[in-house]
Homo-oligomer: A and B are copies of this chain.
Amino acid sequence: MNTVSAVDGPVQSRLLRLLRDTGALSRAELADRLEVPRPRLLADLDALVATGLIREAGPAASRGGRRSTLVELNPDLRFAAVDLGASSIDVEITDGRLEPVTAYSEPADIRSGPKVILQRVNEILHKFRAEGAFERLHAIGIGVPGPVSFRDGVPVSPPIMPGWDRFPVREVLGREFNCPVVVDNDVNIMSIGERYGGVAHSVDNLLFLKVGTGIGCGIYLNGEVYRGTDGCAGDIGHIQVDSHGPVCSCGNVGCLEALFGGGALARDATAAARSGASPALAERLNANSVVTAKDVADGAAEGDVTCIRLIRDGGRRVGGVLAGLVSFINPSMIVIGGGLAGLGHILLAEIRSVVYRRSLPLATGNLPVVLSELGPRAGVVGAAVLASELAYGRPS
């Protein structure tokens, strides 16, 4: 990861994070909260004002005695958050407190390769600049749908991203916008977003299960993202769940993704529409000539038993894998997100039921299994958090 020389030491880093998470504070409040001697704090404040990261914002409300001065993040600070999915680009510009300034999404095929996709990201960002969303970027956070070497800022052997293997994503974006860049896996940024600004706020041991086109798992352990030895931790879509199941795109048999996830659900829903097993799906297939996960969700909402069964079968598969992971890692919370989280309560109920029945009782005694609060925004929120941590430095 690039480091930002502007931030010097853990006190400045903690100070910046505090201003990010709480807004303007007086010098007196900062001294209290950070528990540093006042002369040390004043020196650090001066240094940060000089770098342009913070500014003084007038006198604070009196606490009795001499008035303290309010300090806040420079309102011109800007981060770019980019979430590359298998079939989408999401970009958000935030201020230093991670409040969105502007946002944009468009469909895109990650298989077009890094040159095409990153060119498009550049165009979107330059357009944002032309529109006045930022003058300069202080950091960029970007997620990609595959394993990443977090240290090197490059994708590593990503199965669904031809042409991206070890492509210097960090370097290319950093050169274009002359700022530090942090690259991570898309599921990791979703879990970071959900833990920063969503339902999993400050949870220590978190599993964030993304169920979309693919299936993956973001992992927080002891309050830190866990990425694994090669950056591919959480890649659970190819865990075998049925040794007699269908052949998977990876060449193995009966992988979780071959049985559930966007592709498998569309396949099974199409079969149910064609065979006449599901009137709701047959109707949609006739009208649109394809059926999607959303059609299954809508059919289930109308009470179509085949749609409900398809979701339940999927929830049972996912729940079975999760139950094993719960016994293994003993998490404090499980969050379900990603495109198929739209299947809603039926999916959640089935996953919960299997996890609670099949995992060690001690591990499920107080284990919430909940839907993502941030939904499709989870990724850009997490990417913005990573960008800010790069710009604000490590607190220890």
A228 CB contacts on chain B under 8 angstroms: 205, 329-331, 363
Query: In the complex where A226-B221, A228-B205 touch, is A327 in contact with B362 (Cβ < 8 A)?
Result: no
A147 CB contacts on chain B under 8 angstroms: 362
Bound CA–CA A330/B148 (angstroms): 13
Interface size of A as a range: 35 or more
Q: Is the CB of B323 within 8 A of A233?
A: no
A358 CB contacts on chain B under 8 angstroms: 240, 252
Query: In the complex where A221-B221, A358-B252, A362-B147 touch, is A324 in contact with B236 (Cβ < 8 A)?
Result: yes
> Given B224, B324, B330, which contacts A229 in the complex, CB threshold below 8 Å?
B330
Q: Is the CB of B235 within 8 A of A363?
A: yes
A357 CB contacts on chain B under 8 angstroms: 252
Interface string of A205-228 (1 = CB under 8 A from B): 100000000000101011010111
Q: Is the CB of A231 within 8 A of B330?
A: yes
Bound CA–CA A361/B159 (angstroms): 10
A221 CB contacts on chain B under 8 angstroms: 221, 226
Q: Is the CB of B325 within 8 A of A238?
A: no
A233 CB contacts on chain B under 8 angstroms: 328-330
> Given B231, B236, B320, B367, which contacts A328 in the complex, CB threshold below 8 Å?
B236
A233 to chain B, nearest CB (A): 4
Q: Is the CB of B235 within 8 A of A360?
A: yes
A246 to chain B, nearest CB (A): 16
Q: Which of A179-208 contact B (CB under 8 A)?
A: 204-205
Interface residue A64 (Cβ < 8 Å from any Cβ of B): no
Query: In the complex where A205-B228, A222-B226, A239-B323 touch, is A217 in contact with B328 (Cβ < 8 A)?
Result: yes
Residues of A in contact with B (beta carbons under 8 Å apart): 147, 156-157, 204-205, 217, 219, 221-222, 224, 226-236, 238-240, 252, 320-321, 323-325, 327-332, 357-363, 365-367
Residue contacts A-B, CB under 8 angstroms, 17 given: A221-B221, A228-B329, A228-B363, A229-B331, A229-B332, A229-B367, A230-B366, A232-B360, A232-B362, A232-B363, A233-B329, A235-B360, A236-B328, A239-B323, A239-B324, A240-B358, A329-B329
- Nearest first, the 6 A-B pairs at minimum CB distance are A228-B330, A233-B330, A239-B324, A229-B332, A232-B362, A157-B362
